[in-house]
Amino acid sequence: MNKRMVLLLSFAFILLMFSSAVIYKFVLEKNRYSSVSIVPEHRSDLPLYEGLEFQDHHYLIKGNHWYEIYKFYRDTLPHHGWKPVYKQAFIEDWGGFMLRFQKNDKELHIGGGWNPYSNETETIFDLNPVQH
């Protein structure tokens, strides 16, 4: 095999590896949010609390931030057209919250809480049609 052929095969192999990595990343990103009914990053009417990062089917942030997240969504979402329907904060023990808003025949549920063992605050978003 001559030098030119080895160089051509090497280039083809590198191109194949690169394109495989790009396709794999695309498929992962496309399926990343398949387990959730709403993605705050993809909506202009649902801001994402600064520091929350998507992990599998929920959002996480290091530390005990549940009350700040609760206040953020309780106070911010009405300015984005969401009508508050239900709010509950559980201050005892570890702390957590549940919020429910409605907009255009859709119901948004936001729940979260602090896990002291992992020192993380988890937040879950769920969007469904309003049930009459």
CA 28 to chain centre: 15
Residue in 109, 103, 106 with CA at minimum distance from that of residue 88: 109
Query: Sorting pLDDT into bands at 50, 70 and 90, what band is 19?
Result: confident
| 24 and 79 assigned to the same domain | no
Integer Cα distance of 41 and 46 in angstroms: 8
Domain that includes residue 2, residue range: 1-31
The answer to whether residues 123 and 112 touch, using CB atoms and an 8 Å cutoff, is yes
pLDDT at position 121: 95
| 109 and 57 assigned to the same domain | yes
| 14 and 46 assigned to the same domain | no
Query: Sorting pLDDT into bands at 50, 70 and 90, what band is 87?
Result: very high
The total number of structural domains that make up the chain: 2
The token duo for 87 is 């709010």
Residue in 36, 35, 30, 51 with CA at minimum distance from that of residue 110: 36
| 78 and 92 assigned to the same domain | yes
pLDDT at position 10: 73
| 76 and 14 assigned to the same domain | no
Q: Measured at the alpha carbon of residue 98, what is the angle toward residues 33 and 69, in degrees to the nearest 5?
A: 70
In the predicted model, is pLDDT for residue 118 greater than 80? yes
